[in-house]
């Protein structure tokens, strides 16, 4: 089984978010970058599927040279080789176009990625890749089992889940509990250094969505503490002050 | 110019978040058509009209009665073409998100997700979108002739001053390609208020000590008409189902009031609730980080405070 896993290079979930250059650029100062948490689930499931069925895993990132340590980590976790499309991932359409180009050349059985990136949270790329390739796309996937050429999937929906069956190949946006995150071991880290990481140049597809400026939410005021012996006051505040009851 | 709004039905009833999409569309374009799939209860078309649509395209094809991402994307693209819609508005959901991305490719449209406000059209078409899991916003400029906006809940209020909507049958073309994914079963909590749709949410954390203690959370939720949620450890330990997990890697909610009981407030949990209008935290640890993100706080034992709060609300409800 040939699996393509697309990963994002995003700020750690505990990062303080701020912007520079007149609020036009993300401030990377002091920020640690990681494999997107949802992408990490996709990668972990790919490693399990490879262990069970054999095959290979290619990891793909659309990003500038600074993302290579993140890609190496994915190689240490269990991908066999990597492709980096040398471009800033400006928006979902642009990234989907890059993935589609690599995916078409590789003829993969499965194209996995996270349900969304945790920077822009669009959750669009997997569905766009599916549409661009003429393949089904399913997201968010919580269970992915493959038997022969058929996959059984559980997709989360509001208040429950959907059970699905479909033939390979397809695109899936993954989330927990599809697999447990894998922590690279020493052997993985050592071997990752010598695994191939190919850098390719992007296609020239211009996007029609442009991020102009960034804003922070207004600062939160102080919490109003209410005595646990005086909950009537709390009900009153919720009813008449906040007007939410 | 005209706009199309995709309205999702939940057991025959238009979802509130979808009515917000209709109202949003009618604030941008004067001519709004809604598209719905499957059996629609009596009176729902009127609700959609009141929210701002002049017409409802109703797809009653049995094969399209249940959600199908690819077939819905094809049908909606066809409807946009037929109606000459330059704008598609829909609510963020497990169906809306993938459908909108596919329609964007099919129709060559500019797509913005997690839109939180009406567009600024004074210079081009700019929309404000939530990013970094609610920790920041981006202003996006959309330059495509066609535009698709996926709305975060509460981006706009549902209008109540629209007119009546005419209902027109719509039978979109179907392709076998769109039915490659077989939905074999669907498990869904019935009669519950769905978490992403809820205006009020009561969530419990590890402080509740075990799934057997969820009765008081459910009582409080039932009393105020809220959905129930939980923190990640709680769903990881299988105390509660995964679809109730609120946070960075779970459901992101934006209710009017979020009540957190026995949740310390890890940054990953806050990421899922920071779009809430008001936050009430009940925790016995005064140092719990959640209090810093809260509007109201009660420092006390959840096992005493929650039942008392439920009683106090009931007493005032009369």
Kindly report the CATH number assigned to the domain that includes residue B210.
Answer: 3.40.50.1220
Cβ atoms of residues A109 and A133 within 8 Å = no
Residues B174 and B251 placed together within one structural domain of the fold? no
Residues B168 and B240 placed together within one structural domain of the fold? no
Residues from chain A contacting residue B224 (CB–CB below 8 Å): 245
Q: Spell B151-166 as b/e; 16+ CB within 10 A means b.
A: bbbbbbebbeebeebe
pLDDT at B15 over 70: yes
Which range marks the domain in which residue A203 is found?
Answer: 2-217
Residue B130 placed within a domain = no
B299 touches chain A (CB under 8 A): yes
Residues B168 and B226 placed together within one structural domain of the fold? no
Residues B105 and B205 placed together within one structural domain of the fold? no
Q: Which residue of A has its CA nearest to B73?
A: A131
B144 touches chain A (CB under 8 A): yes
Residues B33 and B170 placed together within one structural domain of the fold? yes
The string of pLDDT tens digits covering residues B285-312 is 999 999 999 999 999 999 999 999 999 9
Residue B149 placed within a domain = no
Residue B75 placed within a domain = yes
pLDDT at B181 over 70: yes
Residues B218 and B242 placed together within one structural domain of the fold? yes
Number of domains comprising chain A: 1
Residue A152 placed within a domain = yes
Identify how many contiguous H helices and E strands chain A contains and give both numbers: 6, 15
Residue B91 placed within a domain = yes
Compute how many other C-beta atoms are within 10 angstroms of the C-beta atom of residue A25. 12
Q: How confident is the prediction for chain A on average, in pLDDT?
A: 95
The string of pLDDT tens digits covering residues B23-54 is 999 999 999 999 999 999 999 999 999 999 99
Residue A235 placed within a domain = no
Residues B15 and B163 placed together within one structural domain of the fold? yes
Residues B230 and B309 placed together within one structural domain of the fold? yes
The string of pLDDT tens digits covering residues A95-104 is 999 999 999 9
The string of pLDDT tens digits covering residues A20-60 is 999 999 999 999 999 999 999 999 999 999 999 999 999 99
Question: Tokens for A229?
Answer: 């012996």
pLDDT at A221 over 90: no
Residues B199 and B175 placed together within one structural domain of the fold? no
Residue B222 placed within a domain = yes
Residues B210 and B269 placed together within one structural domain of the fold? yes
Residue A51 placed within a domain = yes
The string of pLDDT tens digits covering residues B49-82 is 999 999 999 999 999 999 999 999 999 999 999 9
Residue B133 placed within a domain = no
Residues B22 and B61 placed together within one structural domain of the fold? yes
| Chain-centre distance for alpha carbon B235 | 21
Residues B166 and B248 placed together within one structural domain of the fold? no
Which pLDDT value is given to residue A236? 93
Which range marks the domain in which residue B300 is found?
Answer: 195-317
Cα B294 from Cα A221, distance rounded (Å): 9
Number of domains comprising chain B: 2
Residue B145 placed within a domain = no
What pTM value is reported for the model? Answer: 0.91
Cα B177 from Cα B244, distance rounded (Å): 33
**Average pLDDT of A81-108?**
96
**DSSP letters spanning A33-78:** EEE-HHHHHHHHHHHHHHHHH--EEEEEEEE-GGGHHHHHHHHHHT
pLDDT at B318 over 70: no
Residue A111 placed within a domain = yes
The string of pLDDT tens digits covering residues A1-24 is 999 999 999 999 888 899 999 999
- Quote ipTM for the complex: 0.93
CATH number where B21 lies: 3.40.50.620
**DSSP letters spanning A78-130:** T-SEEEEEES---SHHHHHHHHHHHHHHHT-SEEEEESS-TTT----HHHHHH
The string of pLDDT tens digits covering residues A65-78 is 999 999 999 999 99
Residue B138 placed within a domain = no
Of B111, B181, B268, the CB nearest to A164: B181
Of B140, B182, B267, the CB nearest to A164: B182
Contact between A123 and B101 using a beta-carbon 8 Å cutoff: yes
Cα B128 from Cα A212, distance rounded (Å): 10
Of B73, B106, B112, the CB nearest to A209: B112
Integer angstrom CA distances of residue B293 from A222, B8, B106, B207, B269: 8, 33, 42, 18, 11
Angle, helix B44-51 to helix B16-28, in steps of 10 degrees? 40
**Average pLDDT of A83-110?**
96
CATH number where A120 lies: 3.40.50.620
């Amino acid at each position: 089984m040939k699996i393509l896993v697309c990963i994002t290079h995003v700020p750690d979930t505990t990062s303080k978010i701020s912007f520079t250059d007149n609020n036009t650029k993300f401030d990377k100062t002091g920020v640690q970058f990681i494999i997107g948490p949802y992408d990490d689930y996709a990668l972990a499931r790919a490693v399990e599927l490879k262990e069970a069925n054999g095959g290979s895993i290619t990891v793909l990132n659309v990003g500038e040279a600074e993302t290579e340590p993140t890609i190496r980590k994915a190689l240490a976790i269990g991908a066999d080789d990597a492709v980096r499309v040398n471009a800033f991932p400006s928006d979902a359409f642009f990234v989907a176009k890059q993935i589609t180009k690599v995916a078409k050349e590789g003829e993969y059985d499965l194209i996995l990625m996270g349900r969304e990136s945790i920077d822009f949270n669009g959750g669009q790329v997997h569905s766009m890749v599916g549409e661009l390739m003429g393949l089904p796309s399913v997201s968010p996937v919580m269970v992915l089992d493959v038997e022969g050429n058929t996959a059984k999937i559980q997709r989360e929906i509001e208040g429950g889940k959907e059970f699905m069956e479909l033939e390979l190949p397809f695109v899936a946006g993954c989330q927990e509990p599809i697999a447990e995150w894998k922590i690279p071991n020493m052997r993985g880290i050592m071997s990752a250094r010598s695994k191939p990481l190919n850098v390719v140049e992007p296609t020239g597809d211009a996007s029609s969505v442009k991020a102009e400026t960034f804003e922070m939410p207004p600062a939160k005021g102080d919490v109003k503490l209410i005595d646990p012996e005086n909950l009537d006051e709390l009900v009153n505040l919720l009813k008449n002050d906040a007007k939410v009851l | 110019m005209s706009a199309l709004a995709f309205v999702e039905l939940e057991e025959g009833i238009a979802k509130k978040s979808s009515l917000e999409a209709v109202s949003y569309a009618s604030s941008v374009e004067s001519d709004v058509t809604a598209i719905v799939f499957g059996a629609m209860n009596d009176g729902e078309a009127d609700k959609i009209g009141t929210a701002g649509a002049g017409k409802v395209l109703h797809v009653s094809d049995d094969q399209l009665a249940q959600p199908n991402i690819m077939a819905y994307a094809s049908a909606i693209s066809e409807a946009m073409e037929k109606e000459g819609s330059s704008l598609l508005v829909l609510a963020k959901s497990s169906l809306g998100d993938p459908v909108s991305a596919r329609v964007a490719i099919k129709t060559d449209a500019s797509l913005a997700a997690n839109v939180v406000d009406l567009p600024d059209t004074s210079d081009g078409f700019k929309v404000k979108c939530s990013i970094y899991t609610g920790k920041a916003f981006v202003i996006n400029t959309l330059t495509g002739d066609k535009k698709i906006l996926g709305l975060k809940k509460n981006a706009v209020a549902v209008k109540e001053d629209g007119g009546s909507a005419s209902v027109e049958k719509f039978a979109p073309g179907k392709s076998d390609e769109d039915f490659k994914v077989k939905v074999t079963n669907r498990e869904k909590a019935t009669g519950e208020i769905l978490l992403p749709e809820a205006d009020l949410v009561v969530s419990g954390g590890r402080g509740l000590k075990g799934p057997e203690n969820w009765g008081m959370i459910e009582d409080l939720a039932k009393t105020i008409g809220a959905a129930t949620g939980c923190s990640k450890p709680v769903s990881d330990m299988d105390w509660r189902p995964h679809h109730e997990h609120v946070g960075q890697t779970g459901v992101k909610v934006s209710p009017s009031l979020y009540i957190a009981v026995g949740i310390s407030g890890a940054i990953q949990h806050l990421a899922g609730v920071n779009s809430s209008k008001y936050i009430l935290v009940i925790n016995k640890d005064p140092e719990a980080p959640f209090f810093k993100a809260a509007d109201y706080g009660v420092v006390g034992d959840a096992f005493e405070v929650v039942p008392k709060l439920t009683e106090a609300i009931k007493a005032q409800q009369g």
